[in-house]
Chains A and B, each alone.
Chain A
């Protein structure tokens, strides 16, 4: 094992950010930022270019703005705090760091003393790039100005609504307020002008340096959003009644009473508000009007739509989830006369959709990343490492046939900023996800960007009760509005029985097994041609005439009979139906022997899919186990069906409320929670949670659940002869080992001889501690796990040592044990639960390659516990090597979804839509390495900003010294030095702020006052120190275990 390990094994997140709340695009760097409700900011550029920042408070990011080209980003959280982020380069790799934050005075305190009007709620932000200044529109109607480089308010520049009202005719004023500022837009050509839109409908062009109103538009409709045309001569406004209006800016008059055009696109019936509108002109004539919302309230009020209108062409993009924001990718150069939008990117709650606006018909562009993993809920996942190039090409081609891409698509992805510095992945990794709707998706998990390759659907094999309903729904659709379904997020499963529970793929023969919720086990084979064929069906009774049980769960799925047309890709060959049709809990495939083993809560079976005949069925039920028999849904069964049908469309997606806290933060939060708990122990005592201490007993319910199945060529009957074996482990700590009689001579010849495969029970092991068996693996004479089927026979892996004594590693939830073979006697063991108080959730044997030595690699046992920790043990010595905390222990679905790769990496779901990748191996790390060409502003005041990346490069080490300082918002030395220089922020000089009670907040950077933030930081750092101490104490602890 390599001692040099990253402190936190997490490397990169795949998929779509959970609960996105804000979107920004930098047209110069061509990078996009997505903010989330948990306070994360994720930057995406070209595939492979991505990095993440996390606000200290898990507050929703409501607004984000790039300072174009500078690699700086201003974010607004829903607690009204502003944060400035910088993309810095450490060792040539880009990172996102928070540099400054600004918390507006929380209480306006004494009216008009320090701040003339309330800055409590910021509604909109406009960056005036030329002046490094930001305009903040507020709920009160004032516009504040902020120096972006220091995040200090520019006092005295504030524009109050009263000032605006002075320029407004009396009859418009009529005693009403203007309402909150709804929109702030800058003029592309003339940075002095700011277009301000108030909720009441008034639009004002404000000349900032001159501090005067240039132009006033007396709108009366409640305003939602504004967009300024490129030449500055046109303004488009959208309103809450579903209308939009076009105003022309006439230079000779300063007052416009009426818009040139006002229309309700989806009228005449009442419509919902148009939340955002964009106006983009084209060189080829005409312009695009793109807006979200505005649908007829009664008939389509529940749709999530973006309308794209150009000349006479209107397309209503109908999305399946809420629209967060959208932007167009267009030319922004000052010299250009036209926007010429290339693409429209729409961020939805569950996915990102990009439309190509240059191609007629505006087709959707396949995204190279941000794939909505959860388009149907993920029910299982599997990773296949080192995929042979041939299989890879076949899967890719199957995927291409499935969804033909426009030829230009690869190059036309519009978000192309940054350079991916990561090396080409040395091997191809395939991530398979099984979904609730019966599909299996194949993802390219070789690199940082998780790319969809191919989608396999098993639903076509079965008759479900919902098919006719879909066709009905389509017929009812009208021509108007011209809806177009876009996006692939569809969380509604037609039949929960289709759900995929287990997947296994043989990468050498391209055969796979997909097993589902209703006990269906499908053996599929990859075919490059569409084939019409019937699928043979066999059923295996796992109860084996066990009496006294009746299955009260769901029915089996009825397969379609007769020949069916299967497209190129994985095509079903055999369907094995387990009876009773309980969910399949374990499955394994041995393509060399043409055997598939499967297990449910009732027992396990073995099936020869070449001869299409069952070999073995064994019931594992304990007589007292009634729960398994009746099925999990017995009590709600009658209700279930009707509920499903009536609420299918209303059902909330699984995406709800799971809080995602990032790893760095979670530690802190936990620690703080603990601190809080200690502070008020009375609360704890008032609600005592009790735990019963009772050993596991034989008749615990669900004791018969088959947890793992395993094939191995090893010594089971005697030490002289090895042969095929099958192993099964159950929930109650039983292990069954069968010696298999697989007729020889099948290698090479397609036809299997007449003799059938036979299975003979060789050994039955009952672990005394009765904990569920999580995994079984056989180690060869040198203590290495046996290679996968075909690896040895095709010289793809080192042949196992068949001379020395084999051993079987049985991992239960409580302990690991290595037993000798064929005499099953305990050799080594490690009692994890007895030592650590944690239980094993996932286990995998992984190869850890040495960083120092090219050829040296060790096999270790990686184990994820119910506390979310990953432990690594040597094999077969079972000595603890390292241990990290990886997943929060409260994140049960994250722990349940974890899958290890064979090279010491792993994936787990941090949200329904995102996989986090982690790496336990120092050699094998997949993390984003990318750089951006950032044009740093050349102002004298910006020295600090320019210095920091250089400094870090000169050192050759990441500038860790700078990071924490800039992170907690306290002044760093460089900055305080600059504060002494003449460019002192105006705010600190202002006498008003000095005697104000709230000055400490506004002048956070220069005064050393202790603020709430500082105290929090202090507490935080103390806590983290404590954690570190704990970690240090863990080390000797691990050693003592080692000695034992």
Chain B
């Protein structure tokens, strides 16, 4: 897929200050230029594009062809910068109406067939089953997964229950119980917390990662030993937007199936119902454990209207802007995930090396803008 001749071109024009942009909407196109070093904000670029095409009242998505000829989206400052800086001298921008774009896939090879790209892709996507389909970035979301497999004993399992956008209840119950521990004085019965029940159709059940009688050892990194049932309940509820429970599964026979990760990393599908999918997601997310931890549940702040009377507002009203900001960080994350993911394809081991290096660097999380992961759309959930 690499087309090296483009690269040589790129090198030649690299120092040039202005980037030529060819923007195409349907059949018509416009040309304008941007400053390579100061491309500006995505918002401005978006306005500029819709203005030059005179389509200010339509919702559009913007994509560009990268050096490999892949159609990639431009929807935030970061990938806009990337697009401008990597332009080989010409930045080819494709504009689509949003409703059309929804059926459309960005991704590798999308521009490999010259011409008719936009016209044919829709049909093509349906026809070519074998082809790797990557949906719109806003369809990507973190999902529940097993994490930290490499650092935990094999008998334990750390599960992240991710409720992002999911209307399902978390759906499990915990109870008091006793477990047997090996201590210096021999075996000893100690009180423990166990999963007592699954709500049918709940998140916990549907992910299949937790089971009745699993012993809860940690909640979001804090040991539950010595804590009462009520305390553990409160801890879980307080972390319910991003709940990570470490359990000792009651059924230990399913533990050694680590090879299944390989199949997961082939990344076939985004179908959230498929069980192996969560294993894929595991790889994706594992790369940024701290980032996910950053969960800044950015509280929603609504600027008050200045009229003295105050009709109770629907709370979802302001969240459209929020969701956009939110999407930004998601896409950003996705990009890195993808990058890592592709390297992971080459070797599983490298993922883990990378992973541990990322983990050892706590600043990794600080680079990220504290984007609200939880709020998405008008429905505000934890």
Question: Which residues of A pack against B, CB within 8 Å?
Answer: 544, 616, 618-619, 677-678, 681, 684-685, 688-698, 737-739, 758-771, 814-815, 817, 824-826, 831, 833-839, 866-867, 1030
Partner of B191, one of A678, A697, A698, A838: A678
Instruction: Assess whether B175 is in contact with A690, with CB atoms less than 8 Å apart.
Output: yes
Instruction: Assess whether B303 is in contact with A769, with CB atoms less than 8 Å apart.
Output: no
Instruction: Assess whether A693 is in contact with B234, with CB atoms less than 8 Å apart.
Output: no
Partner of A768, one of B169, B224, B299: B299
Instruction: Assess whether B170 is in contact with A694, with CB atoms less than 8 Å apart.
Output: yes
Residues of chain B lying within 8 A (CB to CB) of residue A688: 175-177, 196
Q: A685-B177, A691-B230, A739-B304 provided; 13 other pairs, C-beta below 8 A?
A: A544-B312, A619-B312, A691-B229, A691-B232, A693-B240, A694-B169, A695-B170, A695-B237, A760-B306, A765-B301, A766-B300, A769-B238, A833-B238
Task: Tell me the nearest residue of chain B to A829, going by C-beta.
Answer: B296
Instruction: Assess whether A690 is in contact with B305, with CB atoms less than 8 Å apart.
Output: no
Instruction: Assess whether B177 is in contact with A831, with CB atoms less than 8 Å apart.
Output: no
Partner of A681, one of B189, B219, B308: B189
Residues of chain B lying within 8 A (CB to CB) of residue A831: 238
A-B contact pairs, 29 of them (CB 8 A): A619-B312, A677-B191, A678-B189, A689-B176, A690-B197, A691-B174, A691-B233, A693-B243, A694-B170, A695-B163, A696-B382, A737-B304, A760-B308, A761-B304, A762-B303, A764-B300, A766-B315, A766-B380, A767-B297, A768-B241, A768-B372, A768-B375, A770-B382, A833-B234, A834-B220, A837-B228, A837-B230, A837-B232, A838-B234
- Is B227 in the interface zone, CB < 8 Å from A? yes
Instruction: Assess whether A698 is in contact with B380, with CB atoms less than 8 Å apart.
Output: yes
Interface residues of B in 203-239 (CB under 8 A from A): 219-220, 222, 224, 226-239
Instruction: Assess whether A763 is in contact with B233, with CB atoms less than 8 Å apart.
Output: no
Q: Given A693-B172, A760-B308, A834-B220, are A685 and B178 also a contact pair (CB < 8 Å)?
A: yes
Q: Given A693-B172, A693-B240, A696-B237, are A826 and B227 also a contact pair (CB < 8 Å)?
A: no
Residues of chain A lying within 8 A (CB to CB) of residue B297: 767-769
- Is B374 in the interface zone, CB < 8 Å from A? yes
Q: Given A768-B241, A768-B375, are A690 and B302 also a contact pair (CB < 8 Å)?
A: no
User: Closest Cβ of chain B: how far from A690's Cβ, in Å?
Assistant: 4
Task: Tell me the nearest residue of chain A to B226, going by C-beta.
Answer: A1030
Instruction: Assess whether A836 is in contact with B231, with CB atoms less than 8 Å apart.
Output: yes
Pairs A-B, 7 closest by C-beta atoms:
A837-B231, A768-B297, A695-B240, A761-B304, A833-B238, A764-B302, A691-B233
User: Closest Cβ of chain B: how far from A1036's Cβ, in Å?
Assistant: 13
User: Closest Cβ of chain B: how far from A733's Cβ, in Å?
Assistant: 8
- Is B152 in the interface zone, CB < 8 Å from A? no
Chain B 166-201: CB-based contact to A (< 8 A → 1; otherwise 0): 000111111111100000000001110000110000
Q: What's the Cα separation between A763 and B189 when bound, in Å?
A: 53
- Is B298 in the interface zone, CB < 8 Å from A? yes
Q: What's the Cα separation between A698 and B314 when bound, in Å?
A: 13
Residues of chain A lying within 8 A (CB to CB) of residue B233: 691-693
Q: What's the Cα separation between A815 and B237 when bound, in Å?
A: 12
Q: What's the Cα separation between A1036 and B93 when bound, in Å?
A: 56
Residues of chain A lying within 8 A (CB to CB) of residue B228: 837
Task: Tell me the nearest residue of chain A to B179, going by C-beta.
Answer: A681
Q: What's the Cα separation between A929 and B145 when bound, in Å?
A: 61
Q: What's the Cα separation between A688 and B177 when bound, in Å?
A: 8
Q: What's the Cα separation between A738 and B302 when bound, in Å?
A: 12
Q: What's the Cα separation between A1003 and B81 when bound, in Å?
A: 91
- Is B44 in the interface zone, CB < 8 Å from A? no
Chain B 236-255: CB-based contact to A (< 8 A → 1; otherwise 0): 11111101000000000000
Instruction: Assess whether A833 is in contact with B235, with CB atoms less than 8 Å apart.
Output: yes
Task: Tell me the nearest residue of chain B to A621, going by C-beta.
Answer: B312
Instruction: Assess whether B235 is in contact with A837, with CB atoms less than 8 Å apart.
Output: yes
- Is B128 in the interface zone, CB < 8 Å from A? no
Residues of chain A lying within 8 A (CB to CB) of residue B239: 834
Task: Tell me the nearest residue of chain A to B229, going by C-beta.
Answer: A691
Q: What's the Cα separation between A95 and B150 when bound, in Å?
A: 59
Q: What's the Cα separation between A835 and B189 when bound, in Å?
A: 25
User: Closest Cβ of chain A: how far from B216's Cβ, in Å?
Assistant: 10
User: Closest Cβ of chain B: how far from A816's Cβ, in Å?
Assistant: 13
Q: Given A684-B178, A769-B297, are A694 and B240 also a contact pair (CB < 8 Å)?
A: yes
Q: What's the Cα separation between A839 and B300 when bound, in Å?
A: 22
Residues of chain A lying within 8 A (CB to CB) of residue B361: none
- Is B271 in the interface zone, CB < 8 Å from A? no
Residues of chain A lying within 8 A (CB to CB) of residue B172: 692-693
User: Closest Cβ of chain A: how far from B161's Cβ, in Å?
Assistant: 9
Give the contact-size bracket for chain B.
35 or more
Residues of chain B lying within 8 A (CB to CB) of residue A693: 170, 172-174, 233, 236-237, 240, 243
User: Closest Cβ of chain B: how far from A712's Cβ, in Å?
Assistant: 16
Q: Given A690-B173, A690-B196, are A763 and B178 also a contact pair (CB < 8 Å)?
A: no
Q: What's the Cα separation between A619 and B313 when bound, in Å?
A: 11
- Is B54 in the interface zone, CB < 8 Å from A? no
- Is B129 in the interface zone, CB < 8 Å from A? no
Instruction: Assess whether B170 is in contact with A689, with CB atoms less than 8 Å apart.
Output: no
Instruction: Assess whether A826 is in contact with B178, with CB atoms less than 8 Å apart.
Output: no
Q: Given A684-B191, A834-B238, are A760 and B178 also a contact pair (CB < 8 Å)?
A: no
User: Closest Cβ of chain A: how far from B237's Cβ, in Å?
Assistant: 6
Partner of A763, one of B240, B302, B308, B372: B302
- Is B127 in the interface zone, CB < 8 Å from A? no
- Is B59 in the interface zone, CB < 8 Å from A? no
Task: Tell me the nearest residue of chain B to A837, going by C-beta.
Answer: B231
Instruction: Assess whether B234 is in contact with A761, with CB atoms less than 8 Å apart.
Output: no
Instruction: Assess whether B382 is in contact with A758, with CB atoms less than 8 Å apart.
Output: no
Q: What's the Cα separation between A696 and B372 when bound, in Å?
A: 18
- Is B100 in the interface zone, CB < 8 Å from A? no
Q: What's the Cα separation between A616 and B304 when bound, in Å?
A: 15
Task: Tell me the nearest residue of chain A to B204, going by C-beta.
Answer: A693
Q: What's the Cα separation between A770 and B238 when bound, in Å?
A: 9
- Is B28 in the interface zone, CB < 8 Å from A? no
Instruction: Assess whether B299 is in contact with A765, with CB atoms less than 8 Å apart.
Output: yes
User: Closest Cβ of chain B: how far from A134's Cβ, in Å?
Assistant: 46
Task: Tell me the nearest residue of chain A to B216, going by C-beta.
Answer: A693
Task: Tell me the nearest residue of chain B to A823, going by C-beta.
Answer: B301
Instruction: Assess whether A765 is in contact with B238, with CB atoms less than 8 Å apart.
Output: no
Task: Tell me the nearest residue of chain A to B161, going by C-beta.
Answer: A693
Q: What's the Cα separation between A835 and B236 when bound, in Å?
A: 10
Instruction: Assess whether B197 is in contact with A761, with CB atoms less than 8 Å apart.
Output: no
- Is B310 in the interface zone, CB < 8 Å from A? yes
Residues of chain A lying within 8 A (CB to CB) of residue B306: 760
Task: Tell me the nearest residue of chain B to A737, going by C-beta.
Answer: B304
- Most A CB contacts (10 A, CB to CB) among B227, B236, B241 go to B236
Q: What's the Cα separation between A571 and B308 when bound, in Å?
A: 33
Q: What's the Cα separation between A681 and B332 when bound, in Å?
A: 51
User: Closest Cβ of chain A: how far from B350's Cβ, in Å?
Assistant: 30
Residues of chain A lying within 8 A (CB to CB) of residue B15: none
User: Closest Cβ of chain B: how far from A1025's Cβ, in Å?
Assistant: 16
Residues of chain A lying within 8 A (CB to CB) of residue B238: 769, 771, 814-815, 831, 833-834
- Is B307 in the interface zone, CB < 8 Å from A? yes
Task: Tell me the nearest residue of chain A to B306, going by C-beta.
Answer: A760
Partner of A759, one of B298, B308, B315: B308
Q: What's the Cα separation between A672 and B197 when bound, in Å?
A: 30
Instruction: Assess whether B307 is in contact with A760, with CB atoms less than 8 Å apart.
Output: yes
Residues of chain A lying within 8 A (CB to CB) of residue B191: 677-678, 681, 684
Task: Tell me the nearest residue of chain B to A833, going by C-beta.
Answer: B238
Instruction: Assess whether A690 is in contact with B380, with CB atoms less than 8 Å apart.
Output: no
Q: Given A763-B301, A765-B299, are A695 and B178 also a contact pair (CB < 8 Å)?
A: no
Partner of A767, one of B173, B240, B299, B372: B299
User: Closest Cβ of chain A: how far from B366's Cβ, in Å?
Assistant: 13
User: Closest Cβ of chain A: how far from B218's Cβ, in Å?
Assistant: 12
Q: What's the Cα separation between A764 and B197 when bound, in Å?
A: 38
Task: Tell me the nearest residue of chain A to B230, going by C-beta.
Answer: A691
Instruction: Assess whether A694 is in contact with B312, with CB atoms less than 8 Å apart.
Output: no
User: Closest Cβ of chain A: how far from B367's Cβ, in Å?
Assistant: 18
Residues of chain B lying within 8 A (CB to CB) of residue A758: 308
Residues of chain A lying within 8 A (CB to CB) of residue B299: 765-768, 817, 824, 826
Residues of chain B lying within 8 A (CB to CB) of residue A694: 169-171, 237, 240
